[in-house]
Amino acid sequence: MESLIALWSFIILFAAAATAVPYSPTYNYGFDAANLVKRQTQDPIVVTKLPLANGTVPVRPEIRQMKQNPYKWNLFLLSMSMLQYTNQNDELSWYQIAGTFIRSTLEPNPNTRQQVLFRLVQMIATWFTDPSERAFYHAAAADFRIPYWDWAAPPPAGESVFLPDFESEGIQIYGPNGWQYIANPLYSYKFNPLDPKVFSQGDFPNWTETKRAPFEKTDNRSVAHSIEHARPALQQRLYTLLSNYKDYGPFSNKYWGTATNQSQFDSVEALHDAMHVLVGNRGHMYYIQYSAFDPVFFLHHTMADRIVTMWQALYPNSWVTPQVAMEHSFTMPPGEVHDVFTELKPFFANASGAFWNSEMANDTLHFGYSYAETIPGQGGPKSEDRTRLITAINRLYGSSSPSTLVQKRKRALGRRDRGKISQLRQDTLSDDVSPDFSREPHVAASLVTDDYTYTEWIANVHVQNGALNGSFTIHLFMGAVSGDIISWSAAPNLIGSMNVFAMKNMGSANHVSGTVPLTSALMHMVSAGGVAGLDPGQVEPYLKTFLQVRVIGEDGEEVRPDSVVGLCVQIASSEVQAARNERELPVWGPVIERFEVNFG
């Protein structure tokens, strides 16, 4: 423990001292590490199961959790830097692995990158010469798994959702050859060389590294601010997906709701797309064909894999069903039906040339990893595993749901009297309608009936995927909208957004859909006296008067909603049975369409 504290003290000290020092492109090990990393065979790259650690399956940690262990954190950053600095022609370089995503959007999870980083971590751990130090790094390497970035859960107190580690160009790192200040592998990927023929759009032929919000230079602060404001709505969408979407088709596919005329319009794919648009903000993550080069890409995709894994644990009897491919990919033309046995090219399952498919990839244990929320218990019944998972979902993602807030108020009433609760209301009341109502649980409780039901309100949004020839954003506001477009993503009266993540020049006429939660914003209006309650007779006239829709195109300019092909914003509600305790999820009733928003 003393060694751990000492190492962290040095990290803090050197990080503070290194701010003005030019950084090196990668870590210098004192010998030709690149030659050891170089792939020596032309055999197919097979995605295999990683080894157990002490007989158990290691879990993928949240990135903040990994950072708490400086040995794992150093190995992670060193391996990331080494992978990024590997010759671009090497099949196992950052460049080539990212390029795989351009050729296929069917990767079940980021296991190729996990496998390569695991190999590099094991190698780097052996290069520490001090025996006691090497023992610490060997232990850290043994159960190493790539981290995920949880952009939906509330961050620790005083921290932002978008980590400061994503924003620093250089980073102080300790390795086998001591302390060095190197290019931060979480900030960007540097092309060596840049191929303007591959990155041919707009300013991309001139950018020698990946960028986020590239207005004059990378503006990670604006990205962080937008994500901070969007997080509560993203959290509520995730909570609804996990509690209300019980079939894999609508849960997984952003085309499902409009293609099948179902009442469920959101999906994990639409939620995934939102983060691409928010993080990229017209940088590399914003464009499908360039997105995998940004270092945040695989942290985000690992989070998406975790969401799917949690959903599978909740609903084990539903998995991939036959669906028609709606968009072109490298391995599958539009219109072709794919199912659980469709080959997930180009990911080899064995050296004989067989590819992975969804049936083979239906359990993370097949790849040698799990997540803390889904790893099976030792010998207990499966019902206990499910209860443990639901408790974690409520704790991590239920803070904006009236269902969870009712439980929070019950606990609060056990600790303080109603006078203090009323004072809490006065202290926290504001005009901000962003959907985080966790500090005012008494308002949620007042809207839940004696039989634990309440009305949930949502905006189902669907639009033609190729309507604006690229990615775009549909914002929903409550009340007057500022004329300053740049301020919209963090405006206090922004309820939420539906982000369309689309490739240019594809000409897609297929419709995609997503959902914007409205309930928490309406709860703020109830608290402020703007609307009496959540009943349809109270809410419908209010929304018809005050709900505003705005659209921002790929160029950052406003587009009139009535000019966007196929755009429809449908307001709907559902009677929901609130969870009575932390071991239950809310139960949604039928979703009833109330009205369509008029853009006139």
Q: pLDDT band for position 401 (50/70/90)?
A: confident
What pLDDT, in 10s, does the model give residues 542-600? 999 999 999 999 999 999 999 999 999 999 999 999 999 999 999 999 999 999 999 96
Task: Tell me: pLDDT of 445 over 80.
Answer: no
What tokens does 569 get? 């914003």
Q: Which of 16-25, 362-371, 486-495, 510-519 has the lowest mean pLDDT?
A: 16-25
Task: Tell me: pLDDT of 14 over 50.
Answer: no
Task: Tell me: pLDDT of 9 over 60.
Answer: no
| 546 within 8 A of 537, measured Cβ to Cβ | no
Print burial letters for 123-160: b (CB count within 10 Å at least 16), e (below 16): bbbebbeeeebeebbeebbebbbbbbbbbbbbeeeeeb
- pLDDT reported for residue 588: 96
The DSSP line for 365-433 is GGGT-B-TTTSPPSS--HHHHHHHHHHHHHHHH-TT-HHHHHHHHHHHHTTS-HHHHHHHHHHH--S--
Q: In 3D, which of 152, 154, 155 has the Cα closest to residue 310?
A: 152
- pLDDT reported for residue 166: 98
pLDDT over 70 for what percent of the chain? Answer: 84
What tokens does 583 get? 């071991």
Task: Tell me: pLDDT of 428 over 60.
Answer: no
Rounded mean pLDDT of the chain? 86
pLDDT over 90 for what percent of the chain? Answer: 66
Residues 6 or more apart whose Cβ sits within 8 Å of residue 477 = 491, 493, 494, 495, 547, 548, 549, 550
Among 46-60, 178-192, 209-223, 407-421, name the most confident range.
178-192
- pLDDT reported for residue 444: 65
Angle, helices 220-244 vs 296-314, to 10°: value is 10
Average pLDDT of 80-86? 96
Q: Please name the amino acid found at residue 390.
A: I
Angle, helices 519-528 vs 402-413, to 10°: value is 50
The dihedrals phi and psi of 68, each to the nearest 5 degrees, come to -70, -20
Task: Tell me: pLDDT of 481 over 60.
Answer: yes
- pLDDT reported for residue 573: 97
Task: Tell me: pLDDT of 437 over 80.
Answer: no
What pLDDT, in 10s, does the model give residues 302-351? 999 999 999 999 999 998 877 777 666 656 667 777 787 787 777 788 88
| 315 within 8 A of 243, measured Cβ to Cβ | no
Q: pLDDT band for position 106 (50/70/90)?
A: very low
Task: Kindly report the three-state secondary structure assignment for every residue of 289-315.
Answer: CCHHHCCHHHHHHHHHHHHHHHHHHHC
Q: In 3D, which of 95, 138, 146, 139 has the Cα closest to residue 117?
A: 146
Q: Which of 279-293, 406-420, 449-463 has the lowest mean pLDDT?
A: 406-420
Average pLDDT of 500-518? 87
| 336 within 8 A of 324, measured Cβ to Cβ | yes
For the chain, which residues make up each domain, given as ranges? 222-287+401-600
| Secondary structure (3-state) at 438 | coil
Q: Please name the amino acid found at residue 256.
A: W
222-287+401-600: CATH class: mainly beta
Residues 6 or more apart whose Cβ sits within 8 Å of residue 462 = 257, 258, 265, 511, 512, 513, 514, 566, 567, 568, 570
What pLDDT, in 10s, does the model give residues 183-209? 999 999 999 999 999 999 899 999 999
Q: In 3D, which of 98, 146, 96, 100 has the Cα closest to residue 121?
A: 146
Q: Which of 24-28, 40-44, 242-246, 348-352 has the lowest mean pLDDT?
A: 40-44
- Distance in angstroms (rounded) separating the CA atoms of residues 582 and 395: 8
Tell me how crowded residue 40 is: count the other CB atoms within 10 A of its CB: 6
Radius of gyration of the chain (CA): 24
